[in-house]
Structure 1
Amino acid sequence: MKKIGIITLNGYFNYGNRLQNFALQEILKSMNYEVETVRVEEESLKKLGKENILRSVKRIIKMLFFQRIREDKKYKNIRTERFMEFSRKYINESDYFICEGKVPEKRMLDFDYFVTGSDQVWNPLYNSQSSIYFLNFVPDYKRISYAASFGISDLPIECIPNYKKWLSELAHISVREEAGADIIKELTGRKAEVVLDPTLLLSKEQWLSISKESLDKPNQKYLLTYFLGEVSQENEIKIENIAAEKNLKIVQLANIKDKGAYIADPSEFIDYIYSAELFLTDSFHGSVFSILLEKPFVIFDREGSKKSMMSRINTLLSTFDLVNRKWENIDNTDDIYNVDYKHVKPILDLERKKSLLFIESSLGLDK
């Protein structure tokens, strides 16, 4: 059996990251490949100059400022361990790490192809500007990107020479949002396919098959939130008013103050959304699972982030004709709960075919 390696971000703290990794693995397995996610040793990626280190520190400080989350170490550790348990159960990860200048060549010969993506593997703030995420450690013909994301609309000037070279050398290239395709066109002249995030390639039934109910999930009806950015006081009041109108308990997945929800693992994340009366989020994957599970949801702009961070969400909503789910497009409270999903299935079926065709073509299966 031929073998494919996945290169993606390996953090054990983000629901979308773990679930997209699982989804891509399952799709490739369904095409009769053995699949392994090769872990990248992030600490050793720091082949960074002082400017990059300073920028990373500033990003962390900024993130902490906007989120204002003082995480209790005990609960943070519990959450991380539960994410790792999910990965051990559902994702075939390598028992070794690779990094710049430390790639075991003999092991790499076991792989017929490598796929980088999805997630923000090309965001210079997350990938330490490493060529690993552009697969330069294997021959060109083995390099495929699937739904890779830059996460930003404009690259720092110092990234451009390397990114231009690395992107040019990928055999097959696809991205998750239109802004990413624009960057590639500008840098290389290549037209990158815009494909679905891998989480959208699995069916509702497939996701529910790995979901599970949290012991901390409330018995009463609830409004679920999942905000990766700061929640302003104005938005807090809006959320409280929406919950009060329908007598809903508020459950906050990303808030350390709501400890039971905060430690939910990715399987419980799916069930929390599926069981909610309403889901409010600023998250791309939160939006994805709302659509897949056909739940009422509303998207808020992420506080403290550049508009470019919304590119992937805007692409998602435009693709499925759901731009009315943005908070600024909600006219009254009835609109919050009235989501028409009838038109979504034909669009999803078509986009899945296009995305799967890209993968099959990249692997030579269309021949």
Structure 2
Amino acid sequence: MKIGILTHHYINNFGAFLQAYSLQQAVQDLYPDDEVYIIDCINLKHFIINAGGWFRFYKNKENLSNWFQKIRLPWTFAKARKKYMNLTHICYDAKGIEKLGLDYIIVGSDEVWNYRETKGNAKVKFGIGLNNEKLIAYAPSVGQTNDLEVPDYVKQGILKFKAVSARDALTEKLAENIRGEKIERVVDPTFLSKIPVEPVASVKKPYILFYYCDGLPVEEKNKIFEYAQKNGLAVYGAGECDKHYTSTTVNLTPFQWVWMFKNASYVVTGTFHGAVFSMLNHRQFACYLTNPSRIKKVTSLLEEFKLDSRCCDANADNIIAKLKEKIDYKRTEEEFEMRRNSSKVFLKDNIN
């Protein structure tokens, strides 16, 4: 049996890489005698815009040293994809995918169903043009999209799937309205497999880790830096630039990025996978959410595991207080394990 995974694997984003890699590993573990591939289907517009974004220079945050390290990151991702992903031949549309001769296609995870995202939206992610394979949706997300004015191709596509699951409440609601059935909530693929780590040689002392807290006022961020200095902590960014960080840790491999979370004393993040990897590595963390495409999916994740109290406003004192508030990971890990098992059962029950 040949199983293909159709997702945003080519995006130069740590979460996008790790969810694709993890789903590949999880499915291969479930079906060790079968062939499991990442379908190397490229949306050129999406790819070019994403790759080009790494070459922008933000003078208020970056210096030339930061920037030179940052612009190398797309090549770091390219090498990681080549080494760790079992990629098919490159294809650009449904016709190319059909020629691969796959028995099953798993669509997901990440915002593969965000039909209002004009850069990355592709009808093929809804199964349009795929007629020779059985389709499974594993943990797709619609981002911030709601179920008003849903395009016909989205409705027609979602109805084509043999089985549909969802990663968050909004996607669950959309699919339930279209299919008229209960949709199972499953965990992000990064929960399903053991992810390797690679150490970052330049990191020598305990640290607070930031990962994309868009909109956090500079004066509040500086207060957190002052707290770190008083308490003997460095401050790093997980694959992001800020000339005020202790040193630059932007050109990381995906597994070095995971190591940064695994070894952080505290994490402050504004993203879905920033929250996920804080949780998976049992870190004390706080979420500062302002990006509309992240608020609903991160909030849904935290509510699912009864960690929604980790959300903070733009006040450094509140963020620091939240970081020092211990999470009972013994209880949370029990929930993780139960949800991992049920998510694997979803895959096993629907791929046969």
TM exceeding 0.5: yes
Aligned to 2:261: 273
- Mapping of 1:1-367 within 5 angstroms? 2-32=1-31, 33-43=34-44, 74-99=68-93, 102-103=95-96, 105-107=98-100, 109=101, 111-124=102-115, 125=117, 128-139=120-131, 142-154=134-146, 157=149, 160-202=151-193, 206-207=194-195, 210-217=196-203, 219-227=204-212, 229-253=214-238, 254-255=240-241, 257=243, 260-302=248-290, 305-306=291-292, 309-328=294-313, 333=320, 335-337=322-324, 338-364=326-352
> Does the 8 Å contact 1:172/1:362 carry over to 2?
yes
C-alpha change, 1:71 and 1:322, in structure 2 (3 Å) is same
Unaligned runs of 5+ in 2: none
Letter aligned with residue 167 of structure 2: R
Secondary structure of 2:199's partner?
A: coil
CA distance in 1, matches of 2:71, 2:11: 10
Q: Which has the larger displacement, 328-337 or 260-269?
A: 328-337
CA distance in 1, matches of 2:125, 2:61: 30
TM-score when scaled to structure 2?
0.85
Secondary structure of 1:342's partner?
A: helix
C-alpha change, 1:13 and 1:236, in structure 2 (3 Å) is same
> Does the 8 Å contact 2:45/2:120 carry over to 1?
no
What fraction of aligned residue pairs are identical, expressed as a percent?
Answer: 24
> Does the 8 Å contact 1:12/1:84 carry over to 2?
no
Q: Larger % of helix: which?
A: 1
Residue by residue over 1:174-218, the C-alpha shift from the partner in whole angstroms, topping out at 9 and shown as x without a partner, is: 11001111122234434322110010112xxx22xx21112332x
Q: Which has the larger displacement, 111-120 or 220-229?
A: 220-229
CA distance in 2, matches of 1:113, 1:343: 36
CA distance in 1, matches of 2:91, 2:208: 40
> Does the 8 Å contact 1:113/1:143 carry over to 2?
yes
TM-score when scaled to structure 1?
0.82
Residue by residue over 1:118-171, the C-alpha shift from the partner in whole angstroms, topping out at 9 and shown as x without a partner, is: 0111113166442211233333761011000111142674x5222111111111
CA distance in 2, matches of 1:223, 1:310: 22
C-alpha change, 1:299 and 1:104, in structure 2 (3 Å) is closer
Letter aligned with residue 323 of structure 1: D
- In the TM superposition, residue 262 of structure 1 has moved relative to its aligned partner by 1.0
Residue by residue over 1:104-123, the C-alpha shift from the partner in whole angstroms, topping out at 9 and shown as x without a partner, is: 5332x2x1100010011111
Letter aligned with residue 98 of structure 2: E
Secondary structure of 1:224's partner?
A: strand
- In the TM superposition, residue 332 of structure 1 has moved relative to its aligned partner by 8.0
Superposition RMSD in Å: 3.0
Letter aligned with residue 119 of structure 1: D
C-alpha change, 1:71 and 1:154, in structure 2 (3 Å) is farther
Letter aligned with residue 212 of structure 2: F
Secondary structure of 1:280's partner?
A: strand
C-alpha change, 1:271 and 1:344, in structure 2 (3 Å) is same
Letter aligned with residue 171 of structure 2: G
C-alpha change, 1:45 and 1:339, in structure 2 (3 Å) is closer
CA distance in 1, matches of 2:134, 2:63: 41
Letter aligned with residue 99 of structure 2: K
Unaligned runs of 5+ in 1: 47-55
